[in-house]
């Protein structure tokens, strides 16, 4: 409830500011939102006048948001299959690397933005469960042949309360995505995998997250931030919802560092990926956009600077597969 009120307040302030600015120039701004995007941001005519890129096209900001929504609405059912086909399965290794670098411990709360089909959240819950089981096995082995000192300590140390606290510190993941079709596919995957506890699904915009401040230990966004209209706003929202000490992690396509690999990658991307999109998903244009959007995304150093400008510290990045993908990470202090 509090989060909804704060979200509404931010929208009122933003829209009022746009109205004032437009009135000064002698124009009246009216707010409108496409009826088929129940979870979208409401764009004013002033926003529609501002241009941005949709792949290699120049479009209004409002049009980009609508078209990106339609892209993922169109590809949702074949999204995971296409990820395997386009990357030859390597995307699984990239996502595993994200979890390896994150190294989440039991009790961590994750926000997975643009998490659609749930790949990151599923890995997160599985990783944490493995960590808990590893600790349990180590404890069991230690208790099999306790020394007399350990027996003596067990009688004097209140371990019961510690065990209860550990059990109570359940990790949870929140998948947040603006696209209902992507979330629908993610929920179906979770049901088929038997995952129910510790996982929730929320319709929300990366630029205006429906959560209170200082709520999450880790914020992840994998292959989603390049589709956001205002990347700076998405980064500011990430900082806002992270707890002090929380970690921001972004996995995204980036700039290939090796010239030979870059030429091969470009040839494969523009000549093969749209064809795979047509054959597997019946959608050439959506995958043509996805290829073009990668080329419009900032390079590793530029994006690193954007993350720092948003207020995160100790920002670093790791190039994966020669820079085809980069993993950026930073902390909120």
What's the rounded Cα separation, in Å, for the pair 44 and 50? Answer: 10
- 31: CB partners within 8 A, 6+ apart: 15, 42, 43, 44
17/124 Cα distance (integer angstroms):
40
Name beta bridge partners: 331.
Answer: 247, 313
299 is in an annotated binding site: no
Q: Is 39 annotated as a binding residue?
A: no
Separation between Cα atoms, residue 6 and residue 136, nearest integer Å:
41
CA distances from 182 to 117, 194, 250, 266, 276 (A): 6, 19, 19, 27, 20
Q: From edge to edge, which strands make up the β-sheet containing 325-331? A: 199-203, 172-177, 109-113, 216-222, 242-253, 325-331, 313-320
Q: How far is CA 322 from the centre of its chain?
A: 22
Q: What are phi and psi of 153, to 5 degrees?
A: -65, -35
User: Is 2 assigned to a binding site?
Assistant: no
**Residue 117 assigned as binding residue:** yes
| Binding-site residue positions for S-adenosyl-L-methionine | 117, 177, 205-206
| Binding-site residue positions | 117, 177, 205-206
């Amino acid at each position: 409830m509090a989060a909804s009120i704060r979200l509404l307040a931010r929208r009122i302030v933003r829209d009022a500011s746009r109205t004032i600015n437009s009135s000064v120039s002698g124009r009246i701004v009216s707010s409108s939102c496409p009826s088929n995007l129940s979870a979208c941001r409401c764009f004013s005519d002033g926003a529609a006048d501002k241009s941005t890129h949709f792949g290699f096209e120049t479009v209004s900001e409002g049009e980009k948001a609508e078209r990106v929504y339609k892209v993922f609405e169109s590809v949702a059912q074949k999204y995971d299959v296409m990820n395997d086909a386009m990357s030859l399965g390597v995307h699984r290794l990239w996502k595993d690397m994200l979890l390896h670098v994150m190294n989440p411990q039991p009790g961590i709360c994750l926000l997975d933005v643009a998490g659609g089909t749930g790949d990151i959240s599923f890995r997160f819950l599985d990783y944490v469960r493995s960590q808990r089981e590893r600790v349990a096995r180590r404890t069991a082995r230690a208790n099999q042949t306790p020394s007399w000192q350990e027996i003596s300590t067990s009688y004097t140390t209140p371990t019961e309360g510690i065990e209860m606290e550990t059990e109570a510190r359940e990790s949870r993941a929140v998948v947040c995505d603006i696209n209902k079709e992507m979330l629908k596919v993610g929920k179906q995957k979770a049901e088929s995998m038997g995952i129910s506890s510790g996982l929730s699904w929320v319709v929300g915009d990366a630029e205006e997250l429906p959560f209170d401040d200082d709520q999450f230990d880790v914020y992840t966004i994998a292959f989603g931030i390049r589709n956001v209209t205002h990347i700076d706003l998405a980064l500011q929202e990430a900082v806002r919802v992270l707890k002090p000490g929380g970690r921001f992690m972004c996995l995204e396509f980036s700039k290939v560092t090796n010239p030979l690999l870059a030429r091969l990658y470009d040839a494969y991307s523009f000549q093969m990926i749209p064809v795979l999109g047509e054959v597997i998903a019946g959608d050439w244009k959506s995958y043509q956009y996805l290829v073009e959007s990668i080329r419009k995304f900032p390079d590793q150093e530029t994006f690193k600077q954007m993350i720092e400008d948003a207020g995160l510290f100790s920002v670093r990045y790791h190039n994966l597969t020669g820079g085809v993908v980069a993993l950026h990470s930073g902390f909120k202090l």
